[in-house]
Homo-oligomer: A and B are copies of this chain.
Amino acid sequence: MAEAVRHDKTARQLRLLSDALDSGRLGPVKRLVNTLSPAEIGNLLESLPPGQRTVVWGLVDTEDDGEVLLHVGDEVREGLIADMDPDEIVAAVEDLDIDDLADLVEDLPGTVIDEVLKSMDRENRERLEQVLSYPEDTAGRLMNPDVVTVRTDTTVDVVLRYLRLRGELPDHTDHLYVVSRRHQYLGRIALQALLTHEANTPINALLDDEQPAIDVGESAEEVARQFSDHDWISAPVVDDNNILLGRITIDDVVDIIREQAEHQALGAAGLDEDEDLFSPVRRAVRGRVVWLAVNLVTAFLAASVVGQFEASLEQLVALAVLMPIVAGMGGNAGTQVLALMVRGLALGQVGSSNARVLLWKEIRVALLNGAMLGTVVGVVALAWFHSWGLALVIGAALTITFCAAALAGVLVPLALKRMGYDPALAGGVILTTVTDVVGFLSFLGLATLVLLR
């Protein structure tokens, strides 16, 4: 129901917009669009076919342009940027935070990048260059160098006066960072603490040095895990010498978590998470055909197993009718084990120390499932083809295939991980190849041995 409500809301907006666009009255469209947040406008643009997308993009308030570009996938972003003049692009991005700008800059045309750099003051330019010097998907790329620091040898009163003089703080500032003369990170002071302590309290007394700083080379994934394990709102980033470089805030972490989830969900089907709903057909085909080709190779592998049993299939056509059941059910059972393992590996819960216990558990689950569903399949096969032998063979083959599925479901993701591949992406193809091959081989092989001698 919750899903439905949400859907209705956005669908209503979409319909309103669609109607207004069809009627050519752009005034109401503009008003509607500019009541939305940049993230919502980004979402809306992604849901429009290219022609309407261009029209609506032209109606977005110029000051929101930069933020909207941050909230769309790579493919859509390219299209939107292609619709803009260089001047418009410079105007759109020059007010962005450094970490956000770093996120965009690689998608901009080279001449525009020069313009943007020229439009920035020296301090910001150097900050941007510093952030860009770190590899993508590391803490260095996620951090914003704009932090408020204080010294340890002062009091609440002095800090409050300094803050009043300074005026606005960076977004999502919940702590000030305390640094040494050499800008080494010493600890943090909660804004809350400043507000709830007397003016003459020494800053030293409020210093929290328990939260470890994040290393600038840490992976984005590890950063996200630390934030969610410790319920942080923001965290300091330091280099190898403990020099404070910047800070990472929870809003960027939420984006990482969402992107990881999308990457897994789409990656398992061989899709790029940046694929636009309305990709041009050629581009969509290019993005998908490689994956389908890989699957085609494995399908031929399975077919070649079936090909070994042509003589048996000619003698007993019931085998051809029933063989997809064994292979398909094996694939389903294996996918369950794989899904559990992928989650366990992502959370770091599975390793060499407990793999054997897990494997043994999954084999027992497979044997029990095999006994139950094998009986069902056997009874149906008996009723259909009136052969006790066939019923026994298919029940046994299903149990064997379930066991192979359990083995592959546990061992394939472990092996992929050890070799440095993402088990969520490659695991499915390898698993179903195993279950297809074992499914066909065990069913047709047993049938040949038992029924056709």
Q: Which residues of A contact B (CB under 8 A)?
A: 1-7, 9-11, 14-15, 18, 37, 39-40, 43, 46-49, 137, 160, 163-164, 166-169, 171-174, 191-192, 194-198, 219-222, 225, 227-231, 233, 250-251, 253-255, 257-258, 260-262, 264-266, 268-271, 275, 277-279, 281-282, 284-285, 288-289, 291-293, 295-296, 299-300, 302-303, 306-307, 310, 313-314, 317-325, 327-329, 332-333, 335-336, 338-340, 342-345, 347-354, 357-358, 361, 364-365, 368-369, 372-373, 376-377, 380, 384, 417, 420, 422, 436, 440
Contacts and interface: CB of A to CB of B under 8 A. Distances in A.
A195 B196 contact: no
Contacts of A257: 254, 257-258, 261
**A-side binding surface: helix, strand, loop or mixed?**
helix
Contacts of A349: 10, 43, 46-47, 277
Contact of A364 (B172, B195, B281, B364): B281
Given A265-B339, A293-B376, 14 more contacts: A6-B348, A7-B417, A14-B353, A18-B353, A47-B350, A172-B233, A174-B233, A228-B254, A265-B265, A289-B369, A296-B329, A302-B324, A310-B320, A323-B324
A302 to B, nearest CB: 6
B292 A332 contact: yes
A361 B282 CA distance: 10
Give the most central of A7, A174, A195, A345: most B CB within 10 Å.
A195
B227 A372 contact: no
Q: Which 9 A-B pairs have the closest CB atoms?
A: A10-B348, A2-B219, A261-B261, A47-B349, A11-B351, A320-B320, A39-B229, A269-B339, A231-B251
Contacts of A420: 1, 3-4
Copies in the complex: 2
Contacts of A302: 324-325, 328
Given A314-B314, A325-B299, A373-B289, A222 B5 contact: yes
A296 B320 contact: no
Contacts of A5: 219, 222
Contacts of A358: 277-278
A202 B163 CA distance: 18
Contact of A230 (B14, B37, B344): B37
Given A289-B372, A300-B380, A164 B196 contact: yes
Contacts of A7: 345, 348, 351, 417
Contacts of A264: 261, 265
Contact of A324 (B319, B329, B339, B436): B436
A235 to B, nearest CB: 13
Contacts of A174: 172, 174, 191, 233
24 contacts: A2-B219, A6-B221, A6-B348, A11-B353, A14-B348, A37-B230, A39-B230, A164-B195, A168-B192, A191-B192, A194-B195, A233-B250, A254-B254, A257-B258, A265-B343, A277-B340, A285-B368, A288-B336, A289-B369, A299-B329, A300-B325, A303-B324, A310-B317, A310-B318
